[in-house]
Amino acid sequence: MQDGFGRKIDYLRISVTDRCNFRCQYCMSEKMTFMPKSELLTLEEITLIAERFISHGIRKIRLTGGEPLVRRDMKDVIQRLGRKVATGELEELTLTTNGSLLTEYADHLAAHGMRRINVSMDTLDPDRFSEITRGADANVVLDGIESAKSAGIRVKINMVAVRDFNEADLLPMVEYCAKNGHDLTIIESMPLGDVGADRKLAHISADEFLAPLRDHYSIAPIAHRSAGPARYVSVEPLGLRLGLITPLSNNFCDGCNRLRLTTDGKIYMCLGHNAHIDLRAAVRKDGIASVDQLLQQALRLKPLRHDFNAQLEGSAEILERHMNVTGG
């Protein structure tokens, strides 16, 4: 598949639930209102829509949320999509999780074709972890990461950079990841949803966030690429592969290869735009055959780039939807 700008689209992110057992401060407000179950895609709808995307050239699928593993039928979702990996129809099935339920799920993920996952963890410090997540236990996540590693799943840690909060946590995280064989990705915070805080004050560029690391280690660009938007550097002599996702300081839209399917069945062509196609309504009214036409429409409507910088500066309207609805 190609969009209107000639970019190859082969990556789909599916948000299977907007619910989460954490309340990370840059992602959600403390008191969230979640969607009623009737608005969520069913297991059958997720599977059928994913199959149509795969038939049109999607080769990689990432399951996200909210926290995807809190969905009650998540083991069935993983098993059904894992069959597509087993048959070769899908190159990769991956997951982004907060890690809190990995001890329970790790063996199931590995048994159904997952070879790598992303775990969101912004600090190893138990007190700061509890603060940023509004009450979660860092040790539960670390135990989950160990369970995934023991099951043969490669783990990449996603660390959101937050000014005046976790700059001092970068070095301990880098050394933890290097010691345990995990990749690490630094992500700039993005202006999505009203979380009850001034996002401009919290934002810090990846380059500024990495400054303390350069005082201790050598950083050099490398050619490695993953399915997502990260550019990679090596941290030596640790041998750490460090990814940088920089939607504000170093735009990566020219190489965008993805679409997003939200919890309630909408295709968002860009995380930073409100334009979308409502697949759930079409599927429930006209059946799965309507997906093909709407998918082509979505490709034509995919914008060239996002407007996060303008939104952060206040010259463009902040998007109302939270990250947990669209998917991380």
What are 31-69's pLDDT values in tens digits? 888 899 899 999 999 999 999 999 999 999 999 999 999
Say whether 96 counts as a known binding-site residue.
yes
**Which tens digits make up the pLDDT trace of 277-325?**
999 988 998 888 788 889 888 888 887 765 544 444 444 455 555 555 5
The answer to the question of whether 26 is labelled as a binding residue is yes
Structure confidence at residue 68 (pLDDT): 97
Q: What is the 3 state secondary structure string of 227-286?
A: CCCCEEEEEECCCEEEEEECCCCCCCHHHCCEEEECCCCEEECCCCCCCEEEHHHHHHHH
* 270 has binding-site annotation: yes
What pLDDT sits at residue 308?
47
Is there a cis peptide before residue 36, judged by omega within 30 degrees of 0? no
Query: What's the chain's length in residues?
Result: 328
Closest CA to 187 of 120, 239, 256: 120
Annotated binding residue 190: yes
Is there a binding annotation on residue 210?
no
pLDDT at 137: 98
Question: Distance between alpha carbon 84 and the CA centroid of its chain, in Å?
Answer: 21
Domains of the chain with CATH codes: 11-326 (3.20.20.70)
Question: 215 exposed, middle or buried (CB, 10 Å; 0-12, 13-18, 19+)?
Answer: exposed
Residue 201: its pLDDT value, please?
A: 53
**Residue 260, annotated ligand binder?**
yes
pLDDT digits (tens, 9 = 90+) for 97-108: 999 999 999 999
Report whether 256 belongs to an annotated binding site. Answer: yes
Q: Does 13 show up as a binding residue in the annotation?
A: yes
Q: Is the pLDDT of residue 250 over 90?
A: no
pLDDT at residue number 309: 43
- Cα distances from 254 to residues 74, 139, 160, 288, 328, in angstroms, run 33, 39, 23, 31, 20
Residue 24 annotated in ligand binding:
yes
Question: Residue 312: what pLDDT?
Answer: 43
Would the annotation count 253 as a binding residue?
yes
pLDDT on residue 197: 54
